[in-house]
Chain A
Amino acid sequence: MAHPETWLKVTPEGLYCVPAGCYIDPLRAVDRAIITHAHADHARPGHRAVLASAATLAIMQARLGAGAPAEGQPLGYGERLRLGDDVTLWLVPAGHVLGSAQVVLEWHGSRVVVSGDYKRAPDPTCAAFEPVVCDVFVTEATFALPVFRHPPPAREIARLLASMALFPERSHVIGCYALGKCQRLIALLRAAGWEAPIWLHGALLPLCALYESLGVALGDLRPASAAAKADLRGALVLAPPSALADRWARRLDDPVLALASGWMQVRQRARARGIELPLVISDHADWDALNATVDAVAAPEVWVTHGREEALIHALGLRGIRGRALRLLGYDEEEDTAA
């Protein structure tokens, strides 16, 4: 068996599979790329040929415009593909956002799973993560500290609805990332029985429309930018996090500022941003989920792409699992993005 270190390399462009001749989530424009999911830090513009799930390709097409890949090859979950010099590849759901996938690579008897970003909590807008037993598991470590344990999302939605009942005159504006978090929040609200219109900042509209066209029903959505001030009194509004501190928010009368992010678990993060209602809702694995996942895939070796890799590697070491920090610079973890 060929140890994955010999055929999966860390390069300045990102992770490179030598026998397949292609990169996974490269940080710069390349000839051939496999993309795990369509968040901007993983799906960069300018690649020539991209292999990804059909939904990921559709989102890249919509977001990147001229930077979208010249050639897109869709691959369904579980479909085997032979690539380059005898590499077998398939995609497995990662549960992160619509279309997100883990990339399974097999070569000369060894198997690597590159998980991209993932979560284990249920998400009505995308297929759930499936663990795949492997020799090397490549993982993120965004929330790799034992203080990061995300509460059930339904509890956070209940807190939001309780706040709306207590302050019926105030609009509640929730900062959330445009891809994934926004649609998940809407789906969670619908599941909690919120049938009323949800108002959206203009930047969130195209992806919601795309999700709906890909079969994710989101209910009554309306553009907030066109609304009269009176319509927004007591309304539920979603906006990108950056809009909360922007002049855009001034159209709302004394709003309750909320932010849906895993970072909201740390109080001073919420306070520093002036958030009145922090909602701990994340599309990433929390500490318990990271550790449980590593155990589920039973890999003797784990490579950590980005985040608090030292803490995860330390915890893995205590269980006899070899950890390696890849130090891939360029994957975001600020709350303005996907966390």
Chain B
Amino acid sequence: MKAFAALLERLTFSPGRTAKIALLRQYFAHQPDPDRGYGLAAITGTLALRTARPALLRELAAERSDATLFAWSYDYVGDLAETVALLWPDSAGGGMPGLAAVVEALQQTAKPALPALLAGLLDAGDASERLALLKLITGGLRVGVSARLAKVALAALAEGRASVDAIDEVWHAQRPPYGALFAWIEGRAPPPEASGAAHFRPPMLAHPLSAAEHGAITPALYRAEWKWDGIRVQIAAASAPARLFSRGAEDISAAFPDVLAAVDFNAVLDGELLIRHGERIASFADLQQRLNRKAPGAKLLAQYPAMVRLYDILFEAGEDLRPLPFDARRARLEAWFARIAPARMDLSPLVPFADFAALAALHAAARAEAIEGLMLKRRDSAYLAGRVRGAWWKWKRDPLRIDAVLMYAQRGHGRRGSFYSDYTFGLWREGVLVPVGKAYAGYTDAELLLLDRWIRAHTTARFGPVREVAPALVLEIAFDGAQRSSRHKSGVALRFPRIARLRMDKPAEEADHLEVLLRLLA
């Protein structure tokens, strides 16, 4: 466990990609099987472990520490797992067993025996091992490593025997502790088999379109489609049972039985998951209702019926169509769709355009709730994993903006535990500020420091972790849409609000009025 704990510790603090790859590579190179395989699983989020609720951590800590001192410590540290790890009494335990032994013990232990197992492990380890264990079982490693980056480190270890794309291709057919994968990467065995199971194929992604590329967008080279405002999914129905995956390879089949009930074919499809009421596509907020429920009831299924709007076809009856150019795949998709006519699915239409100016006009006019913008795909592009420069572009519609006034600030959690990092902002209505939303993103680290200092200096009242501040700071808020909401005092809910700029220059009285926002409601 020591090596894994040390790895997590270094990864947590290393911002650089190169440094992260070096740290991962060293870990994979020096740790034995199956420890390193479980480490890889933990980092890429494929490790299925019994999770512990925060309440269990508190109970364990209560047996070993004074309640008052624990409360003060937690308040100071701001992170429960870290507090317990640091405050747990050291006993000369000689270290925890290896990661694999720990994982297997956790997997084999029945729930009632979990507290005793954890206490024993915590006793055996040092503070850094304890933190690694607690992060593992509370499901929040947060070391800033994507699955992709871990694969880049594996490819580095492979020294040419396996590329990142080749690893990606077989990845989803492998299981922890990834013995076959490491054997291949180290040149001890042939590549593991990828086909067979209904596994996830890495999706093709798009780069944001910048002004420099506008000139290259012509109907001769590119196809345009709408970018729908749902979540990107993959229907993997190459063998039974079919599965529905999110873009990040999360298996969300259980949450969408209505979609999977309509799958009665042998194909792998790329599309957008949406909620449809008759002919109308519902807002993202409606989809959220479904995404939040792992096992939806009949009422929810009827209230928010799901469908998939198809973009692409990756496999048809076992045939890999990904090497074909986009136009050829599109033809195959249309022919397949006409023949199968699956329920709860339709085709995302191509959007014809005469030239870039016409496309820009379409982009500017796109205000329908369900449309996030445009996708531009090269007609000759094969379907390749990841972001391939120049092949696909996403052209999101411009965010909406309002100038709002900061009203309340709340301390963040984890790395932001000592900063006021969550902001409630409001707009004027008849001389009074009405809260319209909360933002906890969009600012730089320097702006966060500045905001934190400003808030501490302008506090007018405190309610627990929340401070009310003088209505004197204008924040320019960017957001992707606004919907009517009875749950908000203002009557409006914003979609993905974030702080675009601090308007230190602007007097609060000149911030926007609520009517400005209400006019933006389509």
Contacts and interface: CB of A to CB of B under 8 A. Distances in A.
A147 B87 contact: yes
B68 interface: yes
A265 B13 contact: no
26 contacts: A145-B69, A145-B72, A146-B65, A146-B69, A146-B70, A146-B87, A147-B76, A149-B127, A166-B26, A167-B19, A254-B16, A256-B19, A265-B86, A266-B76, A266-B77, A266-B82, A267-B79, A268-B78, A268-B417, A271-B13, A271-B415, A272-B415, A272-B419, A276-B15, A277-B10, A311-B69
A70 to B, nearest CB: 40
Interface in A160-190: 163, 166-167
Q: What 3 pairs across the A-B complex have the smallest Cβ distances?
A: A147-B86, A146-B87, A147-B73
A308 B68 CA distance: 13
B444 interface: no
Contacts of A35: none
A248 B89 CA distance: 41
B13 A315 contact: no
A209 to B, nearest CB: 33
B12 interface: yes
A151 interface: yes
A256 B69 CA distance: 35
Interface in A264-313: 265-272, 274-278, 308, 310-311
A308 B73 CA distance: 10
Contacts of B78: 268
Given A268-B416, A272-B419, A277-B13, A318 B76 contact: no
B288 interface: no
A265 B73 CA distance: 12
B414 A315 contact: no
A266, A310, A318, most chain B CB atoms within 10 A: A266
A310 B72 contact: yes
A270 B82 CA distance: 13
Contact of A315 (B14, B69, B90): B69
A56 B513 CA distance: 63
A314 interface: yes
B76 A268 contact: no
Interface in B1-46: 6, 10, 12-16, 19, 22-23, 26
Contacts of A167: 19, 22
The size class of the interface chain B forms with chain A is 35 or more
Output the residue of B13, B73, B416 with the most chain A CB within 10 A.
B13
Nearest to B131: A267
Contacts of B14: 276
Given A147-B77, A268-B414, A315-B66, 14 more contacts: A145-B73, A159-B6, A167-B19, A266-B76, A267-B13, A268-B78, A268-B416, A270-B13, A271-B12, A272-B419, A276-B13, A277-B10, A310-B72, A314-B68
Interface in B122-142: 126-127
B69 A314 contact: yes
B72 A308 contact: yes
A274 B449 CA distance: 13
A166 B22 contact: yes
A92 B149 CA distance: 55
A336 to B, nearest CB: 15
Contacts of A146: 65, 69-70, 73, 86-87
B418 interface: yes
A315 to B, nearest CB: 7
Contacts of B19: 167, 256, 276
B381 interface: no
Nearest to A267: B82
Contacts of B23: 166
Nearest to B449: A272
Contacts of A265: 86
B234 interface: no
A278 B126 CA distance: 17
Contacts of A272: 415, 418-419
Interface in B467-521: none
B283 interface: no
B78 to A, nearest CB: 6
B410 interface: no
Interface centre among A149, A151, A163, A254 (most CB of B within 10 A): A149
Nearest to A257: B13
A152 to B, nearest CB: 10
Interface in B413-441: 414-419
Contacts of B417: 268
B93 to A, nearest CB: 15
A163 to B, nearest CB: 8
B262 to A, nearest CB: 46
Nearest to A278: B13
Contacts of A254: 16
Contacts of B416: 268
A325 B26 CA distance: 49
Nearest to B417: A268
A147 B445 CA distance: 27
B79 A275 contact: no
A274 B13 CA distance: 8
A185 B83 CA distance: 27
A217 to B, nearest CB: 32
**Most chain B CB inside 10 Å of its own CB: which residue of A276, A277, A278, A310:** A276
Contacts of B87: 146-147
Contact of A149 (B12, B68, B86): B86
Contacts of B66: 314-315, 318
Interface string B384-395: 000000000000
Contacts of A315: 66, 69
A276 B16 CA distance: 9
- The winner among B87, B416, B419 for most chain A CB atoms within 10 A is B87
A267 B83 contact: no
Q: In the complex, which of the residues A256, A265, A267, A270 has the most CB atoms of chain B within 10 Å of its own CB atom? A: A267
B127 to A, nearest CB: 7
B72 A311 contact: yes
Nearest to B25: A166
Nearest to B26: A166
A275 B14 CA distance: 8
Nearest to B90: A149
A267 B12 contact: yes
A266 B418 CA distance: 11
A17 B418 CA distance: 39
Contacts of B69: 145-146, 311, 314-315
Contacts of A274: 15, 445
A312 to B, nearest CB: 10
Interface in B36-95: 65-66, 68-70, 72-73, 76-79, 82-83, 86-87, 90
Contacts of A311: 69, 72-73
